[in-house]
Amino acid sequence: MRDKMHHISKLEKLPPKREKVETIKILRQLSKSSKALGELKGIAQTMPNQAMLINAVVLQEAKDSSEIENIITTQDELYRALATKTSQPSHIKEVINYRKAIFSGHELLKKQGFLRLKDIEFLQKEIIENNAGIRSMAGTVLKNDKTGEIVYTPPQEKDEILDLLGNFLEHFNIVQDDFPPLINLAILHYQFESIHPFYDGNGRTGRILNILYLIINDLLDIPILYLSSYINEHKSEYYRLLNTVNKSNKWEEYILYILKAIEVTSSRTIAKINAIKKLLLETIQIAQEKEPKIYRKELIELLFEQPYSKIEFVVEKLNVERKAASRYLKKMENIGIIKSQKIGRESIYVNEKLIEILKKH
Ligand SMILES: Nc1ncnc2c1ncn2[C@@H]1O[C@H](COP(=O)(O)OP(=O)(O)OP(=O)(O)O)[C@@H](O)[C@H]1O
Ligand SMILES: [Mg+2]
């Protein structure tokens, strides 16, 4: 049954009228957001080992993004889950799946440079772990969490959904040269969420598409900018603004919101990278001074790639025997770089100072 107050209007194809999405206010915010993002790209390139950065930031995003679905997971739980082989509770699995989907999306881009419809379906499937695919049954509506009121009705017919997705992908895969890509990111995000192609996981899939879009447009080399923490903190505003565009086709405030999110999260990520770099240098120095005989740059890097490490990781990375690996880790623990924890029968070595940095915004 249709809500009487709820007016169903057809979702328009891209692009929206330029004067609606390129206002003076938007252009002013755009320059701040672009500057912050440019800085982030540059600083990320100075990181000696990119895996260190990607692992840390991607896990944080997976955690934040899954939290939008009200699953609260702690950083420690997650790292422990990654380091151990035991089966995981479902809320941990969701985060791990999301992380996997980010990596898959990044791999796809590295391989082919663009996304196809089946790639997006694949990513959603990895997140949700079911085979439902694109909506083919009518009935999906978006409701206000608190009041239960229907706020938006996405397209219901599969043909229309596919048609809109085709239009979406055309705009997603074009590298922008005469239109600011960050404004386009905001527009694309709105459009994807409004098409709402899946029964579930549209938010998470859409947030992964955001980061992939930055990479397609060469605004970042690696997937390290995520808006989820910002969206979590300003969630009702986020829903309200998506709604405003649905109802009145007024884009300005919504686009400003996304641009602001890009600026704020870029600055946070820059601060985080700087803190990681500083800790890395300090750690190298301590190890060189106190354990010059066993010091190896790869060992320290491993402790940053895997803040929860274990003997096996060292064996693999340094190509040494188990006994030697175990000795290295013990020495690192003795000089205060890591701390061991028993999980079941396994010993896990935690880079606690790094975890502290990662826990912050
Ligand atoms: N009025 C609206 N118009 C368009 N999209 C909306 C509207 N309200 C909410 N959305 C989008 O729907 C998403 C939720 O959809 P869905 O439950 O399929 O995704 P999810 O990944 O499971 O959840 P979440 O995004 O909450 O983590 C929100 O993240 C938001 O982007
Ligand atoms: Mg959901």
For 108-147, write each residue's pLDDT tens digit. 999 999 999 999 999 999 999 989 999 999 999 999 888 9
Ligand nearest to the CA of 66: 1
Ligand nearest to the CA of 142: 1
pLDDT at 22: 97
Residue nearest to ligand 1 atom 31, measured at CA: 203
C-alpha to C-alpha distances, 1 to 4, 138, 150, 158, 160, nearest whole angstrom:
9, 12, 11, 20, 21
Place of tokens 């098409």: 195
Ligand nearest to the CA of 203: 1
Where do the CATH 1.10.3290.10 domains begin and end in the chain?
22-271
Residue 201 Cα to ligand 2 midpoint, Å, equals 5
Q: Is the CB of 194 under 6 A from ligand 1?
A: yes
The gap between the terminal CA atoms of the chain, to the nearest Å, is 43
Residue 341 Cα to ligand 2 midpoint, Å, equals 35
Q: Is the CB of 202 under 6 A from ligand 1?
A: yes
Residue nearest to ligand 1 atom 9, measured at CA: 239
Residues in the chain, pLDDT under 50: 1-4
Residue 119 Cα to ligand 1 midpoint, Å, equals 20
Cα 188 from chain centroid (whole Å): 16
Q: Which atom of ligand 1 is nearest to the CA of 128?
A: 22
Ligand nearest to the CA of 204: 1
Dig out the tokens for 133 from the structure.
Answer: 């695919």
Residue nearest to ligand 1 atom 8, measured at CA: 239
**Nearest of 254, 149, 129 to residue 191 by alpha carbon:** 254
**Which CATH entry fits the domain spanning 22-271: 1.10.260.40, 1.10.3290.10, 3.30.1280.10, 1.10.1060.10?**
1.10.3290.10
Residue among 71, 202, 204 to mutate when testing ligand 1 (max atoms within 8 A of CB): 202
Residue nearest to ligand 1 atom 11, measured at CA: 193
Where do the CATH 1.10.10.10 domains begin and end in the chain?
273-359
Its CATH class, for the domain covering 273-359, is mainly alpha
Three-state DSSP at 181 gives helix
Q: Is the CB of 295 under 6 A from ligand 1?
A: no
Q: Which atom of ligand 1 is nearest to the CA of 245?
A: 3
Ligand nearest to the CA of 71: 1
Cα–Cα distance measured from residue 249 to residue 243, given in angstroms and rounded to the nearest whole number: 9
pLDDT, tens digit, 9 for 90 and up, residues 296-342:
999 999 999 999 999 999 999 999 999 999 999 999 999 999 999 98
Residue nearest to ligand 1 atom 23, measured at CA: 203
Q: Which atom of ligand 1 is nearest to the CA of 204?
A: 21
Q: Is the CB of 128 under 6 A from ligand 1?
A: no
Dig out the tokens for 224 from the structure.
Answer: 């390290």
Residue 148 Cα to ligand 2 midpoint, Å, equals 15
Cα 325 from chain centroid (whole Å): 33
The H-assigned helical ranges of the chain are: 18-21, 24-45, 50-67, 75-83, 90-112, 117-128, 158-173, 181-195, 202-216, 228-233, 235-248, 252-290, 297-305, 311-318, 322-334, 352-359
Cα–Cα distance measured from residue 34 to residue 259, given in angstroms and rounded to the nearest whole number: 9
Q: Is the CB of 243 under 6 A from ligand 1?
A: yes
Q: Is the CB of 154 under 6 A from ligand 1?
A: no
Q: Is the CB of 201 under 6 A from ligand 1?
A: yes
